Structure 1
Amino acid sequence: MSTAVDRFNQGGIVSASAPVTQTAAVEQARAVAEVAAAVQVAQQCPRDIRRAWADMEEACSRLGLAERAFYKVPNRGQGPSVHLARELLRIWGNGDAGVHELSRDDSRGMSEVRAFAWDQQTNVRQSRTFQVPHVRMVGKDRKPLTDTTDVYLLNQNIGARAVRECIFAILPADFTAQAQEICRTTLERGDGKPLVDRVAEMVAWAKQELGVTVLMVEARLGRKRGLWTAADLADLKVLFGSIKRRETTVEDEFPPERVTAAEITGQPATAEVPGGAE
C-alpha cells in the first residue's frame, strides 16, 4: 500500500532517474517532509462539509464574486473562471493549488509548466504538465516574446487555466455545480435595483469603458433594449468582464454589420437572368 509521500512523489515532484546533487537532495527531503506534514495536519483537522456548503452559498450570493465567476473567450468557449475555482477550493478547505515553471529554454522559445491541485485531506492530486511557446497572438499573427517578465506572465496566465481544470477535478461535482447556479442567480438578481435601472447603468458603463453602444448590444442579442431580460444582463456581465480582462475583444464579440453594395449606392440589386441574355 502506497503512503501519502509515495503518491505525492508519483505526481512528479521527485524523480528517481534524475541526477541528484547535494542541494537537490536537501530540497527533495524538505519537500517530502512538507507533504507528510500537510497530509497529517489535514487529517487531524478534517473539513466541516456542512460549514463549507454554507460558506459557499453565502460567498456565491455576493455580487463581487458572481461578477468574476465566469469567463467567455473566443475559441475556448465559456464556463466557470479560475477566480471561482480558487475561492471554492479555499472554502472547501485542506487544499492547495498552483503553477510551477519547471524549465525555460529561451533559445527554443519554450517553457515547461506544471499546474496542480491537491486535496491534502484525502491526498487526491490532479496535475497537468505542458509546454508553452514564448509567443503572443497579436491579431492573427504570432509575436515572439523575449522579455523575462512577459514570458513569466504568459506562463502564469496559461497555467491558471490548467489550475482551474485541476481544482474542479478534485472538488465534488455537486458542490461546484451548486456554486455556479447560485452565482448565475446572483448575476440575474443584481444588487436589488429594478431591471430598467441596471440596464441603464450597464449601458452607460459599457459605452464609457469599452466603447460598446446600445445598437451593438441590440444587434448581438437580436432584441431592442426594452426587451432585455435579467438573463441577458447576466450574460453581458460575463462578456464585458472577459473584455475588461482582455480575454477577448470588442471587435471579436461585436463585429460590424456587413454592408452590401446596394445599401451603399441605394440601388436595388439586379437579379441574374437564368441562361444569360440572348
Structure 2
Amino acid sequence: MNQPVPLPSTTAPARIGQGTAVEQSRAAAEVQAAVVVAQQCPRNIQAAVAEMRESCKQQGLAERAFFRYSRGGQTITGASVHLARELARVWGNVQYGLVEMRRDDEYGQSEMQAFAWDVQTNSRNSSTFIVPHRRDTKNGPKQLTDMRDIYETNSNNGARRVREAIFAILPPWFVEEAKELCNQTLRDGGGKPLAQRIADAIKTFEGIGVTADRIENRLDRPSTKWTEHDVAQLIVIYKSIQRGEVTAEDEFPAPRVSADELTGGKADKPATDPTK
C-alpha cells in the first residue's frame, strides 16, 4: 500500500528580529524579577496607609484627584488617573501600563491594552479596546493623520482604562479613604481663610473669562455665602477645564439677555398715536 509522500511546506516559519527577541527576553526576565522581589519584600500595609494619608494631605495631589465632564446632559465625576497612579505607588508591588498592540492606518484605528497587576498577590486586571484615529468636534468627527495627534488620542483614551484597571486591583477601602481625604484637603484649602480662597477662586476664573456673576448663577448664591464645599467644587471644575474635559461655557453658561435689556425696554413697543 502506497504511503502518501509529504510535500515540502511552501511557507517559511515566521522569524523575529534580533532586537525583538532581545526585548522579549528582557521583558520576561523583568517580570520574573518583579515577582521574586515582591515575594521577598512584601508590602507593609500599615506603612502604605500612612503614606497614602500623607500624600492625600498635599494640595497638589488633591487638586488633581478628581475629574469632571459632561455626557448626555449629565455631569460625570470621579477619582482621576492621577490619584490612581499615586495609590498604586504607595500600595507597592503594583505594575500598570498602556500598550499599543497594533496600529491600522488603513482603517484609522489602534488596538490598545491597559493593565494593572499586583505582582505580590497575582491579581491582574486588563482590557483590550479599539481607539479610532479621529476627534469629535463641533463640526463633526475629524480624521487624525498627524502622529502626535494620534498619540495624544490613544493616551487620553487609555488613561481612563488604566485608571479603572488600577482601582480594580486595589482594596476598595484604601481607595475610598484616599478620596475622602483628598476631598477634605480641598475643603481645608491649605489652611487659607475661606474669604481669601473665595477671592482667589474668583480671580482665577476671571483669568479664563468667567465672571463672578456667572459663578454665582452656577452655585445659585452670592459669593459671600459660598462654603468650603463650593470652593472645593470650583477647584475641580477649573482643573477639568484646564484638561479639556469640560468647557467654561458648559459649566458657567452666560446669562441670556432679553430684547428689552438690549434696547433699554423699547423693543417691540407699539408706537403711540398722538391723536388719541
Deviation at 1:243, TM superposition (A): 0.3
Q: Is the 8 Å Cα contact of residues 216 and 222 (structure 2) preserved in structure 1?
A: yes
The residue identity in structure 2 corresponding to 1:67 is: E
TM-score (norm 1): 0.84
The 5 A counterparts of 1:65-144 are 65-75=61-71, 77-139=76-138, 141-144=140-143
**Aligned residue in 2 for 1:8:** none
**Aligned residue in 1 for 2:198:** 199
**Alignment equivalent of 1:21, drawn from 15, 32, 41:** 15
Counterpart CA distance in 2 for 1:30 and 1:111 is: 25
**Alignment equivalent of 2:227, drawn from 223, 226, 229:** 229
Deviation at 1:257, TM superposition (A): 2.7
Counterpart CA distance in 2 for 1:140 and 1:202 is: 33
Give unmatched runs, 5+ long, in structure 2. 1-12, 269-276
The residue identity in structure 1 corresponding to 2:15 is: T
Counterpart CA distance in 1 for 2:129 and 2:221 is: 43
Deviation at 1:25, TM superposition (A): 5.5
Task: Report sequence identity in percent.
Answer: 53
The 5 A counterparts of 1:34-49 are 34-49=30-45
Measured against aligned partners, the alpha-carbon deviations of 1:34-83 in whole angstroms (never above 9, x if no partner) come to 22221111111100100000000001011111011101011171111100
Deviation at 1:192, TM superposition (A): 0.8
Deviation at 1:29, TM superposition (A): 4.2
Counterpart CA distance in 2 for 1:181 and 1:251 is: 29
**Aligned residue in 2 for 1:215:** 213
Greater gyration radius: 2
| 1:63 and 2:62 aligned | no
Q: Is the 8 Å Cα contact of residues 68 and 240 (structure 2) preserved in structure 1?
A: yes
Deviation at 1:86, TM superposition (A): 0.2
TM-score (norm 2): 0.85
**Aligned residue in 2 for 1:162:** 161
Counterpart CA distance in 1 for 2:175 and 2:140 is: 37
The residue identity in structure 2 corresponding to 1:252 is: D
The residue identity in structure 2 corresponding to 1:43 is: Q
Deviation at 1:259, TM superposition (A): 4.1
The residue identity in structure 1 corresponding to 2:53 is: E
Counterpart CA distance in 2 for 1:244 and 1:77 is: 16
The residue identity in structure 2 corresponding to 1:142 is: P
Q: Secondary structure at the match of 1:54?
A: helix
Distance 1:162 1:140, change over 3 A: farther
The residue identity in structure 1 corresponding to 2:111 is: E
Counterpart CA distance in 1 for 2:155 and 2:204 is: 29
Q: Count the aligned residue pairs.
A: 251
Deviation at 1:22, TM superposition (A): 3.8
**Aligned residue in 1 for 2:47:** 51
The residue identity in structure 1 corresponding to 2:37 is: V
Counterpart CA distance in 1 for 2:24 and 2:15 is: 10
Q: Secondary structure at the match of 2:191?
A: coil
Counterpart CA distance in 1 for 2:224 and 2:109 is: 50
Q: Is the 8 Å Cα contact of residues 259 and 267 (structure 2) preserved in structure 1?
A: no
Measured against aligned partners, the alpha-carbon deviations of 1:83-126 in whole angstroms (never above 9, x if no partner) come to 00000000000111111011111121111111111111111111
Counterpart CA distance in 2 for 1:110 and 1:87 is: 30
